[in-house]
Chain A
Amino acid sequence: MNKQASFLCDAVGTTVTVYIRGEIDHHTAVSIRNGIDGVLFEKRPEKLILDLSGVSFMDSSGLGLIMGRLSVMKSLGGEMTLQQPSRETRTMLQLAGMERLLSIVYTDEIHEKQQIKAKKAYIPPKAESVPCRQASREKSKTGSGKRRTGAPKTTA
């Protein structure tokens, strides 16, 4: 039911790209936030790209998550971009006027599909990638095993 969220971080040079999959709500946002911040404070990148192409649901908790990461990046003296927001996230981003706070890279339909394909082909991560732990639960030992939608897997 509560399709859990997962994410994959990819660090190249001074840029960290985070691909979020699944549903972003108050429940899943906590672990996504902790996971991303762990990488940000470790790598201290100049740029964070948040890829939302695989997000199938997002409510206002997603806005909080995005704005929170924006302020983390600002505190690190870096910048942040949203990449390819899925249809499911676009209304929410527009409603919040997010484009006034950071740049959003929208691409056309065909391009978007190609990108998603390329991204799927690209997973599992390369050596320099940071495989992030699965973002669905804080207590990963208790029962998350069977529901695991682990980061290396692709979403439908």
Chain B
Amino acid sequence: MSRKKSVYNGRIINQMQIKLPSLSVNEGMARATVAAFVSQLDPEITELADIKCAVSEAVTNSIVHGYRGTEGMVGVTVKILEGRVVKIEIKDKGCGISDIRQARQPLFTTDAAGERSGMGFTVMESFCDDVRVRSKPGQGTVVTLYKCLGEGPSGSFHRREKP
């Protein structure tokens, strides 16, 4: 599952950037766009599903928590790094997180009234190989997701051949 941290600093092969206003309708737009871009690596269906879900969590957090009651832009940067590593950065200039460790705890939410499960960060962590959070109260939040894809078309072909 997890590779050496050095793979996260590999050469950038391709990259994409989108900026969307913090409208909930853009949650689907963001994950679909990221999935379309990552598709060039011919990922497994489950890998793509994991990425879509993790992106959806981070973008939703920026819209729901970061820009709660206000409006702003959510930035999504996708980088394809050497060795089939996908690095995705989700950035907002919203309210920020005062206690990141606490925020990442399963079931922790500051919005229980909004029917939130507090599982967003847990989902990102279990669907990605690494999740990094940088945040400052009053300044915003950057969530970086790393997903290391399997061997790809030829590799997966060989894997499928095995019983």
Enumerate chain A interface residues (CB-CB to B < 8 A).
1-3, 23, 25-30, 33, 57-61, 63-65, 67-68, 88, 92, 95-96
A64-B117, A68-B115, A88-B49 in contact; A59/B28 too (CB < 8 A)?
no
- A64 neighbours in B (Cβ, 8 Å): 114-117
Knowing A2-B25, A2-B29, say if A60 contacts B120 (CB, 8 Å): yes
Which 8 residue pairs of A and B lie closest in terms of their CB atoms, listed nearest first?
Answer: A2-B28, A27-B24, A63-B117, A64-B115, A68-B115, A60-B119, A59-B56, A26-B60
What are 7 A-B contacts with C-beta separation under 8 Å? A27-B28, A57-B49, A58-B53, A59-B56, A63-B117, A88-B49, A95-B119
Indicate if the CB atoms of A25 and B123 lie closer than 8 Å.
no
Contacts of A68 in B (CB 8 A): 115
Contacts of B122 in A (CB 8 A): 95
Task: Let me know if B28 and A23 touch, CB within 8 A.
Answer: yes
Known: A27-B24, A95-B119, A95-B123. A59 touches B53 (CB 8 A): yes
Given contacts A26-B27, A26-B64, A95-B122, contact A1 B117 (CB under 8 A): no
Smallest Cβ-Cβ distance to A5: which chain B residue: B28
Interface residues of B in 8-30 (CB under 8 A from A): 24-29
Q: Are A1 and B32 in contact (CB under 8 A)?
A: yes
**Interface residues of chain B: helix, strand, loop or mixed (majority):** helix
Residues of B within 8 Å of A92, CB to CB, are: 53, 123
**A2: chain B residues within 8 A (beta carbon):** 25-29, 32
- Whether, in the assembled complex, B57 has its beta carbon less than 8 Å from a beta carbon of chain A, the answer is yes
Is A27 a contact partner of B120 (Cβ separation < 8 A)?
no
**Closest CB-CB distance, B127 to chain A, in whole Å?**
8
Which B residues contact A (CB, under 8 angstroms)?
Answer: 24-29, 31-33, 49, 52-53, 56-57, 60, 63-64, 114-117, 119-120, 122-123, 126
Residues in A whose Cβ lies below 8 Å from that of B26: 2
Closest Cβ–Cβ distance, residue B24 to chain A (whole Å): 4
Task: Tell me the bound Cα distance from A2 to B23 in angstroms.
Answer: 12
User: Could you tell me the distance in whole angstroms from the C-beta of B124 to the nearest C-beta in chain A?
Assistant: 9
Are B24 and A59 in contact, CB atoms less than 8 angstroms apart?
no
Chain B residues within an 8 Å CB radius of A65: 115
On whether the beta carbons of B57 and A60 are closer than 8 Å, the reply is yes
Q: Which residue of B lies closest to A4 (CB)?
A: B28
Contacts of A29 in B (CB 8 A): 115
Contacts of B56 in A (CB 8 A): 25, 57, 59
Q: How far is the CA of A53 from the CA of B56 in the complex (A)?
A: 21
CB neighbours of B60 from chain A (8 A): 25-26, 59, 61
Instruction: Decide if A59 touches B57 in the complex (CB within 8 Å).
Output: yes
Instruction: Identify the interface centre among A27, A28, A33: most chain B CB within 10 Å of its CB.
Output: A27
What residues of A have a CB within 8 angstroms of the CB of B25 in the complex? 2, 27
CA distance A47 to B115 in the complex (A): 21
Interchain CB contact (< 8 A) of A67 among B32, B53, B63, B117: B117
B93 to chain A, nearest CB (A): 20
